[in-house]
Amino acid sequence: MDRVLEVEPDFLESDHDHEHDDDVTSLSFVSDTPLDMDKFQAWFGNLLQEKGQDILRSKGILNFEGRDDRYVFQGVHMLMDASPMGPWPAGKDRSSRVVFIGRNLESMNLQEGFEGCK
């Protein structure tokens, strides 16, 4: 949040002006197959570096192969934070889920990139 406020100091003010952009869309993906952590980090880091200005928001819960913890991440543009969230609850579906909100998402091959992390 501190980083967002550095870029947009009035972000939390209630009278903050909002402009609606019809070019903004969202995409989400789910994987029942555990992801490879190294592949995900490489893909996602490269994605943010190259296309981060068009990715307004990203978030997800990830199931990495060989790890018992859930990993959660959230991002605003090129800024991203990720951390373990503790073990998956017993009986809980261990699907990885990611959501992107931004512009030109269809041209970023997001599904192919995400699928390549398996």
Average pLDDT by consecutive 10-residue portion of the chain (118 residues)? 63 56 88 97 95 95 95 92 92 92 95 97
The whole-angstrom separation of Cα 45 and Cα 51 is 10
Any idea which architecture 25-115 has in CATH?
2-Layer Sandwich (3.30)
**Cα distance between residue 17 and residue 107, in whole Å:** 29
- Is 111:29 a contact under the CB 8 Å cutoff? yes
The torsion angles phi and psi of 89, rounded to 5 degrees, stand at -60, 145
Domain ranges of the chain: 25-115
How high is the pLDDT of residue 23? Answer: 85
